[in-house]
């Protein structure tokens, strides 16, 4: 994530450290972003923090994102 998204990165890191299963977010610019998610998941896995699923509420409920 870019430096200006440090708060978003912290949000993801805290969710991963808390071992939550899902992080629901409407932030598709830096968090639930198809271009960012593979890098985020690889980084979390390399730190032993895999298992977090990041998605929008609509995706979580089985619908499409806006």
17 vs 34: CA distance, rounded Å: 22
Express each pLDDT in 24-54 by its tens digit. Answer: 999 988 899 999 999 999 999 999 999 999 9
Q: What's the pLDDT at 2?
A: 75
**66 in any annotated domain:** no
In a domain, 39, yes or no: yes
- Can you give the residue range of the structural domain that contains 9? 3-60
Q: Is residue 38 in some structural domain?
A: yes
Q: How many CB atoms lie within 10 A of CB 44?
A: 19
Count: domains in the chain? 1
Model confidence at 14, in pLDDT bands (50, 70, 90)?
Answer: very high
């Amino acid at each position: 994530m870019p430096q200006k998204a440090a708060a978003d990165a912290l949000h993801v890191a805290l969710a991963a450290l808390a071992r939550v299963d899902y992080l629901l977010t409407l932030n598709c610019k830096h968090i639930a972003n198809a271009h960012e998610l593979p890098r985020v998941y690889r980084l979390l896995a390399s730190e032993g923090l895999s298992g977090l699923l990041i998605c929008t509420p609509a995706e979580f409920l089985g619908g499409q994102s806006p």
